[in-house]
Amino acid sequence: MKTVIVKYNAGNVISVMNALNRLGIKPIITDDPEELSGADKVIFPGVGEASTAMNYLRSRKLDQVLINLKQPFLGICLGQQLMCRYSEENDTKCLGIFDLDVKKFPPMEKVPHMGWNKLDFNKDHPLFSNAPEKTYFYYVHSYYAEVGDETIATSDYILPFSAAVQKNNFYAIQAHPEKSGKDGQIILQNFLNL
């Protein structure tokens, strides 16, 4: 199985690569459109800032490549946010895969939301197959995707937000499964099994 991690000058790529290595997968890290289009699975991780990341994708015409992929595609953290329609972070138009906006957490609690938080999900969804019902994942984010029709899991920090979303072959999770121990490994393995 050819698994590709999207290279777009966002952080956290190595952590995702290491998590996949633990599952026996040797991913390719690339921004080459042919490699991305020819992959069996594509993972779009990220830690960083929305407008800089989108500018890189557009400069390489990867924005059009990514939205047209047909294979299973998983966004993680910033990857999920960039798959949405719009981000308040520097007034950024994103990929528009998900019909959701990304907003900044109100300053009622400590922001960024950092640490372990519960994920509420439908246990029948294939992304969460075999995950324990009281699953905690590791988060680091100041922006969140609102809850909408494509939301498949929620979490709550100050307010409820989309912890995971799905539309057709596109899946995304706000938390970091690669930093979330055995429960995170279950999510990554479920994605690889799609």
The full length of the chain comes to 194
Around 36, how many Cα atoms within 13 Å sit in the side-chain half-sphere? 23
Catalytic positions, please? 77, 176, 178
Assign domain 3-193 one CATH number from 3.40.50.300, 3.40.50.880, 3.20.20.60, 3.30.460.10: 3.40.50.880
Question: What pLDDT does residue 92 have?
Answer: 98
For the chain, give every domain's residue range: 3-193
What string of DSSP letters covers 41-72? Answer: EEEE--BS-HHHHHHHHHHTTHHHHHHT--S-
Of the pLDDT bands very low, low, confident and very high (cuts 50, 70, 90), residue 109 is confident
Please write the tens of the pLDDT for every residue from 17-40.
999 999 999 999 999 999 999 999
Question: Contact 102/94 with Cβ under 8 angstroms?
Answer: yes
Indicate the Cα dihedral angle 166, 18, 37, 183, nearest 10°.
-20
Question: What pTM does this model have?
Answer: 0.96
Please write the tens of the pLDDT for every residue from 111-132.
999 999 999 998 889 999 999 9
Instruction: Copy the structure tokens of residue 6.
Output: 């999207």
pLDDT at 149 over 90: yes
3-class SS of residue 101: strand
